[in-house]
Structure formats: C-alpha cells, structure tokens
Amino acid sequence: MADAKVQDDDYIYVTKQGLKELEEELEYLQKTKRKEVASRLKEAISYGDLSENSEYEEAKNEQAFVEGRIFELEDQIKRSKIISDSQKSGKTISLGSKVVVKLIKAGSEGETEEYTIVGSTEADPMASKISNQSPVGAALMGHGAKAVIDVKVPAGKVQYKILKVS
C-alpha cells in the first residue's frame, strides 16, 4: 500500500516555505525530541515499579504523541505538492493567491481584509492565511476581482466583494 500512486485529490498543497517548515519540524522531532523522550523514559524506568510510576506514564504518552506526529508529518511531506507561481493566473483566485476582500453588511461595506489562500496544513487565520478548504477560501476559489460571493459560515451567510487578486 505504501507504494500506491498518490491520487491528485490526495495531495496536500503547500508553498515552498510551508514544506520547509514541515521538514524542519520532522527533523526536530526525529533528531531531538525522540532523544529527549527516550531519556525521560530511561530515567522513569530507573525509579522502579512501573505500575504506579506517573513519570513513566507521562513519558510513554509523550512518546506516543511524538511518534504519531512524526508519522503524520512523513505522510504530509510524501503527499505534498508545491504551489507554484505558474499555477496562479493573477486574474482568478487559486492556491497561493493573495486576495483583498471587503465584507458587505446590509448594503454598506465593512473593512477590507487581505488573505493568502494556502493548503490546509499551512492555514493560519491569525497570519491571514486561509485554507482553500475553509468556507471563505473555498468560496473565493476560481473567482476574480469585482466578483461578489456568498459564503455560508458558522455564524450564518455573509457576502464578500473581491477587490484585488494577485
């Protein structure tokens, strides 16, 4: 199964920087964190009676988390597809596009917001990076400047006017 060809919809879309960050996290977990957890486990085992050893339980839980995250990162890196500048047309919104939108509220317009459309692994709303799979990101995809789109969000339905795509 590991040798199965990756289907196009199985890709995880990332920027070059996003892939670099995934690889750096993986390297840290493999080379540093694993050793730290192994050291904690060794120390906890030296305390004896493992049945009532909370340090041992904590170290085992952390080891399971670290190994799970390593597995997840290896899978994400294997399925990563870099968003290239050639994929961006500049006229319509696609992965990697920077978008300036204005929220339209009951006939009046709100403040402008700028987003970069990224794959789900890089999404960081606090840094104005939204996933192409989020409600707003998915609704923006394929549209161009001056379009008005309806977006169904958890709080209800909102409208955005797309001011600029780059």
Q: Using one digit for the tens of pLDDT, what is the confidence trace for 75-112?
A: 999 998 887 655 555 688 988 889 999 988 655 567 88
Report whether 161 contacts 146 (CB < 8 A): yes
Whether the pLDDT of residue 28 is over 90: the answer is yes
CB 113 within 8 A of CB 163: no
pTM above 0.75, yes or no: no
Class of domain 8-82: mainly alpha
**φ and ψ of 144, to 5 deg:** -120, 180
Give the pLDDT of residue 4: 47
Residues of the chain with CATH 3.10.50.30: 85-165
Give CATH 1.10.287.180 domain extents, the chain: 8-82
Strand order in the sheet with 129-131: 129-131, 108-118, 98-105, 156-165, 148-153
Q: Does domain 85-165 have CATH number 3.10.50.30?
A: yes
Angstrom distance (rounded) from CA 78 to CA 32: 21
Give dist(CA 129, CA 63) in Å, integer.
31
Which residues are bridge partners to 164 per DSSP?
100
pLDDT given at position 8: 53
